[in-house]
Amino acid sequence: MIDELVYQMQTRGKRIPPLHNHASHGHILSTQLSEELTESLARRARKEGMTLNSVLNAAMLLAVNRHLYAGQQVPMRTFSFASLRPYVQPPLGDEDLACYISLLRYTVLVSGGVDFWSLARSLHKKIYSSLKSGDKFVAATLAEPLMKMVTRAKSFRMAATALNYSGVVPVQSSYGNIKVMGLHGFVSVYDLGPEFSSEAQIFKDQLFWDFMYLEADMSREEAKAIVEEIKSILNAAL
C-alpha cells in the first residue's frame, strides 16, 4: 500500500503505462545472446553480487525508459517470477509439469542516463529482500483476489516490464538423432499487463530471450529498437 501511494505521487504528471480502450494483438520478437556475452554477463553479475535475473530485468527497464519514456526520471514497475516448486509438499517429480510460480512486482526509479549497475543493484536489493522475507508465498496467496480487483477496475496497467528468467534449462542438445536447435518460451500479454514482457533461459550456453508486446503499445520497429537497446546496454556494461 505504501509503495502504491509513493508511486502515485511520484508519477503525477508523468508518463505511465497507458490504458487502451480497444483490443490489441500481441506480437513475438526473439533474440539470442552469444555464449561469450552470456558468460561475461554471468561472471560480472557474480562479481557485483547479484543475479543474472536482476541484470537482465534492469536492462529491460532502462531500454524501455529510453524508448517509451523519453529517458525521463520516473518510477517504473517490473515483474519477476519466483519458483515455488522446491516448497511444494509432497515434493514434485520432473514429470509434474504444472506451473508453480509466484508473481512479484517491484518499483524502481529509472532515468535514461542512470548508471546501469546502480539500477541493477537497486532492483536486486528489492528482489533479494522480498524473497528473503517470504513475499513469494504472500504473493501466491493474494494472486487471485488481486487479479480479480485489477480486471474489475481496469484503471491501470500492472507494470512497464516483466521478465521470467528460467536459468539453465535441463534440456539436452540432442536426443538420439533429434537435435535441439533452440528453446523458446513466451509470457502472455494482454491489455492490463506490462508494456514489454519476456521469457529468458540459457540453453547450449547461450541466452535465448523471447519478448512479447501489444501492437497498441508499439510498432514492430519500436520493439526491435528496444531489443537492440537492451543488447547495447548489456554490451556496454561489460
The whole-model pTM stands at 0.93
Q: Establish if 161 belongs to a structural domain.
A: yes
Domain count, the chain: 1
Q: Where are the alpha helices (DSSP H) in 79-187?
A: 116-132, 135-153
What pLDDT digit, counting tens, does each position of 106-121 carry?
999 999 999 999 999 9
- Assign residue 107 the CATH number of its domain: 3.30.559.30
* Residue 67 counted as domain residue: yes
What is the pLDDT at residue 38? 97
* Positions of the chain with pLDDT under 50: none
Q: Is residue 18 part of a domain?
A: no
β-pair partners for 69: none
Ramachandran category for residue 29: left, alpha or beta (phi over 0 → left; psi -120 to 50 → alpha): beta
Q: Are strands 26-33 and 178-179 parallel, antiparallel or unpaired?
A: unpaired
Look at residue 229 and tell me if it is in a domain: yes
- Rounded CA gap, 148 and 231, in Å? 36
Quick check: is 204 in a domain? Answer: no
Q: For residue 121, tell me if it sits in a domain.
A: yes
Is 215 part of any domain?
yes
- Rounded distance between C-alpha atoms, residue 40 and residue 134, angstroms: 31
In a domain, 146, yes or no: yes
Write out the residue range of the structural domain in which residue 139 sits: 24-90+100-169+179-195+210-237
- Give the pLDDT confidence score for residue 149 in this predicted structure: 87
The residue behind cell 548508471 is: 115
